[in-house]
Amino acid sequence: MPELPEVEAFRRRIMDGAMGKQIQSARLDGIRVLPESVPDVEASLHGRRVVGSERNGKSLFLALDDGRWLLLHFGMSGEPVFFHDQEPRFTRLAMTFPDCKLAICWQRKLGAVAVLEDFRAYLSAKKRGPDALEAPWDAFREGFHGRRAVKSLLLDQSFVSGVGNLYADEMLYQNGILPQRPASSISEDEVKGLYDSMGSILRLSIQMGTDFSRFPSGMMLNVRHRGSSCPRCRSPWSTSKVGGRTSFFCQHCQR
Ligand SMILES: [Zn+2]
């Protein structure tokens, strides 16, 4: 499933291929249009120019030259693909530019699109927190209160947007914190550690093209599967449902 690092890579790919270019035509094919959208997505894209982009967590917004925004939700399987002749399979949104075509492909129909008047209003209506790569330290620190499990807090998209299950497990592992611990029990130093890990892990993943096998040894993500063990102490991973998600952790190194 595309997470923040994949969507950031998609954003860069789309900007490399489409920035400043005019959409000569757009075609939707069986993709869900969000109720927040202006009517007639195809007509509202026609003739517009792509002039920038924003990303919040897994939501990508392409700025159009009339001040509106094209929102792309990649869902479980979405991906942008530039092509010339042969349209890729599973194309649900196709846009033609003067020198290339862009397909957004979804194998499963869990993605969605919208043309929005204002992406900030959309994010605020969805109660979306700041993007995990841009979250201000003060806002991050203030979230750590209450009995809620720290893992649930990290996954709460109204706290920070874009920390997925795997990345939360790695953040907790690197800081020796059990996922079940109440948010209020996390010390200031531990909060700082989590904040720094959030940025470094997500940036590393973007840099490595989200290929966990290229991650340095000693991290959880390249060995996070059943039957594998903690790179530090070789204890088998423990697993538990926290906040509805399966969490991996080391009973020995995390407390
Ligand atoms: Zn361990």
101 and 147 together in one domain: no
d(CA 106, CA 99): 23
Residue 192 lies in a domain: yes
Amino acid at 245: R
Residue 220 lies in a domain: yes
pLDDT of residue 1: 77
d(CA 170, CA 247): 10
95 and 183 together in one domain: no
Residue 132 lies in a domain: no
Chain segment 235-246, per-residue pLDDT in tens: 999 999 998 899
- Ligand 1: distance of its center to the CA of 235 in Å? 6
Residue 29 lies in a domain: yes
166 and 80 together in one domain: no
Residue 254 lies in a domain: no
Domain residues for 170? 137-249
* 180, 185, 188, 191 alpha-carbon torsion, rounded to 10°: 20
d(CA 157, CA 174): 21
- Ligand 1: distance of its center to the CA of 185 in Å? 21
Q: Is 136 labeled as catalytic in the residue annotation?
A: no
Q: What average pLDDT does this structure show over 72-100? A: 94
- Ligand 1: distance of its center to the CA of 249 in Å? 8
- Ligand 1: distance of its center to the CA of 230 in Å? 5
pLDDT of residue 107: 85
d(CA 64, CA 111): 20
Catalytic residue (one of 58, 68, 92, 101): 58
- Ligand 1: distance of its center to the CA of 197 in Å? 18
Residue 95 lies in a domain: yes
d(CA 104, CA 94): 6
118 and 199 together in one domain: no
Q: Is 245 labeled as catalytic in the residue annotation?
A: yes
8 and 121 together in one domain: yes
Beta-bridge mates of residue 70: 62, 115
**Pairing verdict, β 245-249 and 69-73:** unpaired
pLDDT of residue 108: 76
- Ligand 1: distance of its center to the CA of 237 in Å? 8
- Ligand 1: distance of its center to the CA of 225 in Å? 14
The b/e string for 67-104 (b: 16+ C-beta within 10 A; e otherwise) is ebbbbbbbbeebbbbeeeeeeeebbbbbbbbeeebbbb
Residue 209 lies in a domain: yes
* Confidence at 69, pLDDT banded by 50, 70, 90: very high
165 and 94 together in one domain: no
Last residue of a domain, which of 125, 156, 181? 125
Q: Is 13 labeled as catalytic in the residue annotation?
A: no
**Is a pLDDT exceeding 80 seen at residue 109?**
no
Question: Model pTM?
Answer: 0.92
> Sign (positive/negative) of CA torsion 41, 46, 48, 51?
positive
d(CA 39, CA 53): 21
Residue 255 lies in a domain: no
121 and 164 together in one domain: no
CATH number, position 53: 3.20.190.10
Find, among 8, 9, 58, the residue nearest to 164 by Cα.
58
111 and 193 together in one domain: no
Last residue of a domain, which of 125, 154, 188? 125
Provide the number of structural domains found in the chain: 2
Last residue of a domain, which of 96, 125, 154? 125
- Ligand 1: distance of its center to the CA of 170 in Å? 12
Q: What average pLDDT does this structure show over 188-212? A: 96
142 and 104 together in one domain: no
145 and 109 together in one domain: no
Q: Is 151 labeled as catalytic in the residue annotation?
A: no
Q: What average pLDDT does this structure show over 192-221? A: 96
pLDDT of residue 127: 97
CATH number, position 236: 1.10.8.50
238 and 184 together in one domain: yes
Catalytic residue (one of 3, 6, 8, 79): 3
